[in-house]
């Protein structure tokens, strides 16, 4: 597994991060049980992955507990770089929330403590100042942010944030005009979630007539008239994949990796074959022509949205 530096930090992380949202115990979304999740985490680590992402909101801390159990064996925690997230709230809740998350992880520190969502109604400076105190106390090695716009990312940079976690993939391009260039200039790593657009870029919906069910029904990419256009763009990814002898998922991830070296995609898995498939993206080399073809197809979908849209049609007040 290729290792890269995480932004301006001293942390060295694998080029793919394993996300644990689908390990939060939500029915119908992810592995069947915790033991299976633990096995997947350990196998990924044994295969070279050292970067793991979680959040308080993933099953109300359940995913953090699962990750803690998986990393409690031997020196696994010391060999891992672990991030967790807290939604912007009263600054006085930052430390108690982190202490509870540390207990769930069975550790006395997190490598990265991330603001999950900003709340325009609350002071960002006060919250980030409290996050920095967690660094000073040794409870977090670094801080990061998620779902931040340019103005918010500029504030976060003043507090030393080393990573930004946005939604970003071939179809959802919200960070390209302003946020991605800012991160590049500022030395902030970009760790995108939903790099495969909740399965839209895996061939699952473009190669079959499968209908949207479950949590995806809340995703704007799966709502008409966007969904039909998204399937067309996904078919372009499928075509490149077929010609290269790769999978659609690998090509979609390769597109992200080629976009910028500061990008470290977060991928979720429910089967070991999913992880093996994702890792294969590191061996896929897209030509400039293929990259531009995919980019253009994805932009036709993204141009159906406005810059204020969120993938789930929701954000905190």
- For 7-71, what is the HEC assignment? CCCCCEEECCEEECHHHCCCCCCCCCCHHHHHHHHHHHHHCCCCEEECCCCCCCCHHHHHHHHHH
CA dihedral 217, 218, 219, 223 (to 10 degrees): 60
In the annotation, is 58 catalytic? yes
Number of domains into which the chain is organized: 1
Q: What is the pLDDT of residue 33?
A: 87
Q: What is the pLDDT of residue 218?
A: 86
- For residues 24 and 30, the answer to whether their CB atoms sit within 8 Å is yes
Q: What is the pLDDT of residue 32?
A: 62
In the chain the first and final C-alpha atoms are separated, in Å, by 40
Query: What is the rounded CA–CA span in Å between residue 110 and residue 14?
Result: 17
**Domain interval for residue 138:** 3-198+247-284
* Domain membership flag for residue 179: yes
Under-70 pLDDT residues of the chain? 27-32
Backbone region of residue 138 per phi and psi (left: phi > 0; alpha: psi in -120 to 50; beta: other values): left
* Domain membership flag for residue 220: no
Q: What is the pLDDT of residue 210?
A: 81
> DSSP label at 212?
P
> DSSP label at 171?
S
* Domain membership flag for residue 146: yes
Counting Cα atoms < 13 Å in the Cβ hemisphere of 222 gives: 20
Q: Which of 58, 110, 113, 193 is catalytic?
A: 58
- Nearest of 87, 149, 145, 116 to residue 308 by alpha carbon: 149
Q: What is the pLDDT of residue 209?
A: 82
* Domain membership flag for residue 226: no
Q: What is the pLDDT of residue 39?
A: 96
CATH number, domain at 60? 3.20.20.100
CA angle in degrees (0–180, nearest 5) for 23-24-25: 95
Where would I find the beta strands (DSSP E) of 175-305? 189-190, 266-267
* Domain membership flag for residue 123: yes
Q: What is the pLDDT of residue 30?
A: 58
- For residues 171 and 297, the answer to whether their CB atoms sit within 8 Å is no
* Domain membership flag for residue 306: no
* Domain membership flag for residue 305: no
- For residues 20 and 42, the answer to whether their CB atoms sit within 8 Å is no
Indicate the pTM of the whole model. 0.95
Query: What is the rounded CA–CA span in Å between residue 165 and residue 117?
Result: 10
């Amino acid at each position: 597994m290729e290792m890269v530096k995480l932004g301006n930090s001293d942390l060295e992380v694998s080029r793919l991060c394993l996300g644990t949202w689908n390990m939060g115990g939500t029915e119908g979304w992810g592995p069947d049980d915790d033991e299976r999740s633990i096995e997947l985490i350990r196998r990924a680590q044994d295969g070279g992955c050292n970067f793991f992402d979680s959040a308080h909101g993933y099953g109300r801390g359940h995913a953090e507990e699962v990750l803690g159990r998986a990393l409690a064996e031997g020196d696994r925690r010391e060999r891992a770089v672990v991030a967790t997230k807290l939604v912007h709230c009263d600054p006085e809740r930052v430390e108690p929330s982190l202490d509870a998350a540390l207990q769930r992880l069975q550790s006395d520190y997190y490598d990265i403590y991330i603001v999950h969502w900003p709340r325009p109604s609350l002071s960002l400076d006060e919250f980030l100042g409290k996050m920095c105190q967690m660094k000073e106390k040794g409870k977090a090695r670094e801080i990061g942010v998620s779902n931040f716009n340019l103005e918010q990312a500029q504030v976060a940079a003043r507090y030393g944030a080393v990573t930004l976690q946005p939604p970003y993939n071939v179809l959802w391009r919200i960070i390209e005009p302003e946020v991605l260039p800012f991160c590049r200039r500022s030395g902030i790593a970009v760790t995108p979630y939903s790099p495969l657009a909740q399965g839209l870029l895996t061939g699952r919906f473009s190669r079959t007539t499968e209908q949207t069910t479950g949590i995806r029904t809340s995703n704007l990419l799966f709502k008409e008239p966007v969904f039909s256009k998204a399937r067309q763009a996904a078919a372009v990814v499928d075509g490149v994949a077929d010609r290269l002898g790769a999978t659609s998922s690998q090509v979609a991830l390769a597109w992200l990796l080629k976009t910028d070296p500061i990008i470290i995609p977060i991928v979720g898995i429910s089967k070991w074959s999913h992880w093996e498939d994702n890792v294969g993206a590191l061996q896929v080399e897209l030509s400039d022509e293929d990259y531009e073809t995919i980019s253009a197809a994805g932009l036709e979908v993204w141009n159906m949205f406005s810059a204020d849209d969120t993938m789930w049609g929701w954000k905190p007040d």
